[in-house]
Structure 1
């Protein structure tokens, strides 16, 4: 009898254990989330994934010491805390429970190695110039490091958060010349599974993520450049989230009981960069001002963007920290445009290439077509040149756009500082050179006092507005279509995805 009783107790305990195991398993990551995007990353190497969707994917696979929260605030990530030691030294303290996806610990030496990869000219990192002021990353111990700068840098934590996606020194050195050719090895909430270019990338939840495992087991990112195809997939259930919904489609999608529409003002502004170095006519600031007066921005916003957007007089939205809100947009005044063209010696106009990507931004080629049409009304013979997105940006960064080029720029630093990437003489995005600009930017960036820094920033912005190396357009609104099977997803103004709390039923 005693034996039978003991056996029953053992079976009961075993049963409770199995139930507990089942409950634990059910609490783990589950389900699959499919996201339809307008473009894809260019590389699995975070140092080379510089376009928007490269940054988005890198953020899922790799962590930086610091992250940007949904409102642009700086939050701890691989680093638990950081502080200023002196004007040229910032100290970071890494958490001790963070690991790479293969189990290697995250060490200060890995951060040093990551920064030096970015800075090495041989690696041709597009963002290398943003870290030119970093003199040294000094390892204090396994979990502490200093970043020492050549001059004070008020936005150093923002720069670290933006692009210092930490890779394992040991793993990179173990895996040959091009370790990221077919795989990724990071510390982020998701692990790499596979990538079929122009078709899909598959990620899976990192169950050992130091901030807690994601709730969704698999994430599939499908590049679907054509808006109509992306929306059709959303309505058919082939994808659960569609990025950058075209404004004119919003009323239709809002009627679908199985979908939710999320809108958030973007930290991204649409403008056209003018090649002031190679195009003779665009070297004249009067011509550049004329182009700004020639465009009916409100007409484009109401007619093409369904009212989503506000005109700007700078390549930044007024909501970004440090932007001079007193700078107004150029008014629509075609008579003034023709007067300025005549004054500049181009009364009969001239030929001008108008470049646009296809499907990268909401209604991008339609906006570019409208600009070309309106320029023709003031005598400029505009030729529209539309390119596939990846080819477009490869051409752009090689400085081969001989005309004006449509750009939608997002403020990942959550500060006006990013604007100068279109103003510095040696910056990747810049087609502009202005006497004294590089020195003014250096002065702004080295000023640790916020008020004084923004005084210099406003001076730079006034010059930018007056000399207009861009055709200023309007800020964007991010619109996402989301299946009602998805919970926990919240659109961000900076385009990034927070997927850790997302579930799919």
Structure 2
């Protein structure tokens, strides 16, 4: 059974729209397009209680939202253990969450009126001081958070009273509410921050519908229902994120009912899923883009002519068709069409093997130079690496493939020791600033996202200007300028706009998969 939930990019939500929207997210039913509900015809209806088991390819790398830099880690916590002042609904509209009202006082001052009576999982009251403590920690350079630059425009967090807090910016920042809706802005227990902040890497403490129970590294993360949750309580008693590296094993566990959901779906198994009576598929247009990236500050890819040569040598259509089974669409830039700031006027280098060979000669790089291409251990990415290896052999380049477990892969690209890599950027806000600043600004080297180690003062200036430009059309023009220069500098080869997939059994209903690729499970029930 297939569902295709079409995501349409929403414009930046104005203040008046935020204040008029209801706070409770409307969860859609995960059913096929013909019946509307995947389980409504089942004799046994799922009920509240029980354990929801989610099987996933990779373990988390950290449970501290100020140090999480990848979707698999954030997925365990976002709107489950941790919550934010405002959040996204299913269509990426910004709606209230911990804050019940938002008001823009002036160009740089935002007032948040908080819900009262909320407690963190350790019993600490949620209030304006808790918000200040969280953001002060994130903004403190000594914390060393790779997420700091995402909120660096916040100059001061001012407590007005117990339920009122002001965020005062150093300058206007157009997408401020979108970044406050993302996992980086999760509100953390001030007691833990003040008494044992290092413990947050392995023991998160938030306000969400689930509280943390345990993390067996490499095996499973377990969450419990928060019986004292301030909002609508979760339906299941427990959630287990179990790490199962083998694709076939994850599918078999769903098919037999041993597990309920997997958000790592091998595209080679789509026919099997479609033809199974016990497997169902949900599909959501995503915000992420997959690409091949170069370390622009390390030989041999500090040479722009060689980067262009490789860009001309990779047949991207063959990768989409042959490896991804046409899941997702061919990307033209490193920004999804569903993200504000996307442009179709910038096109990638066309496949031209002769031009690629000429550029290799022009680069002056010795053809015998060995190049290492690193990738995580996802099956499709390994296959992509093998195709790229073969294609680059055709222009005289020798490529060695290095396959790394996901955590090791992240460490490698964060450290800047790689030559070339297969990567992806999962936009968490729906706004182009999240792509441009994190991927291409020179302040974002390493873990914040700039694994290209790309530095161009002109691009930096454009990105900084776009951040504070209130006019949407002018912001779009600025992002188009930046993407044009990035293309000319051959920083990355865009491959695929993501389509998020999750496979689930007949024994679960009422979850949804967000465009960011988060599983939203507060209303999920199992039988």
Q: Would the TM-score normalized by the shorter structure come out above 0.5? A: yes
- Written as runs of structure 1 = structure 2, the 5 A alignment for 1:199-348 is 199-279=219-299, 281-346=300-365, 348=367
- 1:487 and 2:509 matched: yes
How far apart are 1:181 and its partner, in Å? 5.5
Quote the residue 2:415 is aligned against: 398
- 1:161 and 2:169 matched: no
Quote the residue 1:389 is aligned against: 406
Give the conservation status (yes or no) of the 8 Å contact 1:202–1:219. Answer: yes
- Post-superposition Cα deviations, 1:431-490, rounded to whole Å, max 9, x if no partner, equal 101132222111110112212122111111111122121122111222211001111122
| Partner Cα distance (2:409, 2:374) in 1 | 8
| Partner Cα distance (2:486, 2:433) in 1 | 13
| Partner Cα distance (1:99, 1:177) in 2 | 18
Quote the residue 2:127 is aligned against: 107
How far apart are 1:255 and its partner, in Å? 1.5
- 1:371 and 2:377 matched: no
Quote the residue 2:58 is aligned against: 39
Quote the residue 2:74 is aligned against: 55
How far apart are 1:28 and its partner, in Å? 9.0
Cα 1:28–1:188 change in 2 (3 A) is farther
Give the conservation status (yes or no) of the 8 Å contact 1:42–1:54. Answer: yes
Q: How many residues matched?
A: 475
Match of 2:369 among 346, 350, 355: 350
Radius of gyration: which is bigger?
1
Quote the residue 2:191 is aligned against: 170
- 1:128 and 2:148 matched: yes
- Structure number with greater CO (CA < 8 Å, separation at least 6) is 2
Q: Which runs of 5+ in 2 are unaligned?
A: 1-45
Give the conservation status (yes or no) of the 8 Å contact 2:137–2:143. Answer: yes
Cα 1:310–1:28 change in 2 (3 A) is closer
| Partner Cα distance (2:462, 2:200) in 1 | 38
Match of 2:491 among 445, 469, 482: 469
Quote the residue 1:6 is aligned against: none
| Partner Cα distance (2:233, 2:47) in 1 | 8
Cα 1:41–1:370 change in 2 (3 A) is same
- Post-superposition Cα deviations, 1:57-80, rounded to whole Å, max 9, x if no partner, equal 221101010112222221111011
How far apart are 1:177 and its partner, in Å? 5.3
Give the conservation status (yes or no) of the 8 Å contact 2:47–2:525. Answer: no
Give the conservation status (yes or no) of the 8 Å contact 1:313–1:465. Answer: no
| Partner Cα distance (1:248, 1:256) in 2 | 14
- 1:451 and 2:470 matched: no
C-alpha RMSD of matched pairs (Å): 1.9
How far apart are 1:140 and its partner, in Å? 0.9
Moved over 6 A (4+): none
Q: Which runs of 5+ in 1 are unaligned?
A: 1-26
| Partner Cα distance (1:242, 1:159) in 2 | 27
| Partner Cα distance (1:347, 1:334) in 2 | 18
Quote the residue 1:416 is aligned against: 432
How far apart are 1:119 and its partner, in Å? 1.6
3-state secondary structure, aligned to 1:61: coil
How far apart are 1:313 and its partner, in Å? 2.2
Comparing 347-356 and 216-225, the one that deviates more: 347-356
| Partner Cα distance (2:334, 2:266) in 1 | 22
Cα 1:46–1:347 change in 2 (3 A) is closer
How far apart are 1:325 and its partner, in Å? 1.9
3-state secondary structure, aligned to 2:443: coil
How far apart are 1:183 and its partner, in Å? 2.8
